[in-house]
Amino acid sequence: MFTFTASCLRKLPELCHKHYVSRTCVKASSRLVLGIETSCDDTGAAVMDETGVVLGEFLHSQKEVHLKTGGIIPTVAQQLHREHIAHVVQEAMNRSGVTPGQLSAVATTVKPGLALSLGIGLHFSLQFVRQHSKPFIPIHHMEAHALTVRMLQPVAFPFLVLLISGGHSLLALARGIDDFLLLGQTLDEAPGDTLDKVARRLSLTKHPRCSRLSGGQALELLARDGDRSKFTFRTPMGQHYDCNFSFAGLRNQVTMVIRKQEQVEGVEPGALLSCVNDIAAATQHTIASHLAKRTHRAIIFCKAKALLPTSNPTLVVSGGVASNQYIRKALTLITDTTGLQLLCPPATLCTDNGVMIAWNGVERLRAGKGILPFDQEVSYEPKAPLGVDITADVKEANIKLPPVKLNISD
């Protein structure tokens, strides 16, 4: 039985990132990587040394534009990347005090993501590496999210990873920097997408406390003052004993409740409802419960198949939705029950950024994996699975979850 008590949420501790230094600390011998990210709606760049120290970083977020247009319009995202990429990279380089000639490689997200957005980053990067005769390291965006934690502390492989963002929802076992087993993934939309759409349907940009927040941030904020027991949503996929996710059905349930409440309160669609905090709390709770249950099953599966180390087994949670404290707390209760340690990068490194791409470049440079000559042709891939898909094996294991009482409280 899952019972969350949402009151008194404590902010959970998260990993610190102490790896930002002034450029005077750079070891002259260290190899340097420029990382570039444009897979969705953030234009990010960072210069990093071989030890994971960030020498310079810059990020241009398109969030405010997309909030106004009611979602990401790919052509708009593309145009904004096009307008900002040169400046973003230049600013990261300036801040680092590193010249292009001093770089050992350029690492850029080439998959998965929005085709039009990926294209801008890749085109810019290929021009850059050709101009400066530098090796190129193509990066898988989800691999970068999964590995970010290793920049903050030495987390040994294998570890379990839950990646939850606006574009993705997946559970995987990380066995090496380019070696993943995919245990489960979303069958429809990602939790961040659901939160963004629910927030839009609730017109939260009109809410005085939420006008500049992403959907997920807005719902988390409002949920703190809400009573989740006022509305009950079914946790998705209760009869499917695998680790896949589904959020579209939940969004339908929430939309129906919103429509009903608009009638009850006698307001037009688009007006702010008085019960918005309660809807936020119930939605967030159901998403947290779904994520916790699938993660619980993944842990049991990995333990049964001896895929996790017996000493210090770890769950890493990353992606934009991982910055949600309520969801983290739900997952902490699962890791406490199963004896895993839970590690979450700080919020700035959970959302898309150039630092995580530079770090993935460093990991690959150190391991000598996937480093291409500057004149090699590279294409972007909007769809790209992470690792070897063993979701069918997980389903076949047909694992029923033991009852877990989850009380989220101080």
By CB under 6 A, which span of 45-53, 93-101, 178-186, 320-328 interacts with ligand KG4? 320-328
Which 23-52 positions form the footprint of ligand KG4 (CB under 6 A)? 40
In the bound complex, what is the minimum distance in angstroms from residue 91's beta carbon to ligand KG4?
20
Under a CB-based contact definition with an 8 Å cutoff, are residues 322 and 149 in contact? no
Judged by CB under 5 A, which of 49, 143, 220, 352 binds Zn ion? 352
Query: Nearer to ligand KG4 by C-beta: 41 or 363?
Result: 41
Q: How far apart are CA 360 and CA 366, in angstroms?
A: 10
Work out what residue 49 binds among Zn ion, ligand KG4, none; the CB cut-off runs from 5 to 8 Å by kind: none
Q: What tokens appear for 234 in the block?
A: 């079914």
Which 60-119 positions form the footprint of ligand KG4 (CB under 6 A)? none
Query: Nearer to Zn ion by C-beta: 246 or 353?
Result: 353
Please choose, from the candidates 95, 92, 28, the residue with its C-alpha nearest in 3D space to the C-alpha of residue 59.
Answer: 92
Please return the burial class of 400, using the count of CB atoms within 10 Å of its CB with bins 0-12, 13-18 and 19+: exposed
Q: How far apart are CA 241 and CA 394, in angstroms?
A: 8
In the bound complex, what is the minimum distance in angstroms from residue 214's beta carbon to Zn ion?
12
Q: Is the peptide bond before 158 cis (omega within 30 degrees of 0)?
A: yes
Q: Is 166 in the site for ligand KG4 (CB under 6 A)?
A: yes
Angle, helices 276-304 vs 215-223, to 10°: value is 110
User: Where would I find the beta strands (DSSP E) of 104-219?
Assistant: 105-111, 136-140, 159-164, 169-176, 179-185
Judged by CB under 6 A, which of 56, 112, 121, 215 binds ligand KG4? 215
In the bound complex, what is the minimum distance in angstroms from residue 97's beta carbon to ligand KG4?
28
* Size, binding site for Zn ion by CB under 5 A: 2
Instruction: Please report, as a single letter, which amino acid is at residue 130.
Output: R
Under a CB-based contact definition with an 8 Å cutoff, are residues 197 and 251 in contact? yes
Judged by CB under 6 A, which of 44, 119, 167, 236 binds ligand KG4? 167
Q: Is 222 in the site for ligand KG4 (CB under 6 A)?
A: no
Judged by CB under 6 A, which of 108, 125, 148, 217 binds ligand KG4? 217
In the bound complex, what is the minimum distance in angstroms from residue 121's beta carbon to Zn ion?
13
In the bound complex, what is the minimum distance in angstroms from residue 287's beta carbon to ligand KG4?
8
Under a CB-based contact definition with an 8 Å cutoff, are residues 160 and 316 in contact? yes
Each residue 39-78 as x (binds Zn ion by CB under 5 A) or -, in order, gives ----------------------------------------
Query: Nearer to Zn ion by C-beta: 196 or 352?
Result: 352
Q: How far apart are CA 220 and CA 281, in angstroms?
A: 8
Under a CB-based contact definition with an 8 Å cutoff, are residues 48 and 35 in contact? yes
Judged by CB under 6 A, which of 14, 57, 220, 242 binds ligand KG4? 220
Work out what residue 216 binds among ligand KG4, Zn ion, none; the CB cut-off runs from 5 to 8 Å by kind: ligand KG4
Question: CA 197, 203, 208 angle in degrees (round to 5)?
Answer: 125
In the bound complex, what is the minimum distance in angstroms from residue 34's beta carbon to Zn ion?
19
Which 148-207 positions form the footprint of Zn ion (CB under 5 A)? 165
**Cα dihedral: 7, 215, 113, 161 (round 10):** 0
Judged by CB under 6 A, which of 34, 195, 204, 365 binds ligand KG4? 195
Question: CA 111, 64, 42 angle in degrees (round to 5)?
Answer: 20
Q: How far apart are CA 220 and CA 12, in angstroms?
A: 14
Question: Binding residues for ligand KG4, per CB under 6 A?
Answer: 40, 165-167, 192, 195-196, 214-217, 220, 319-321, 323-324, 351-352
Question: Binding residues for Zn ion, per CB under 5 A?
Answer: 165, 352
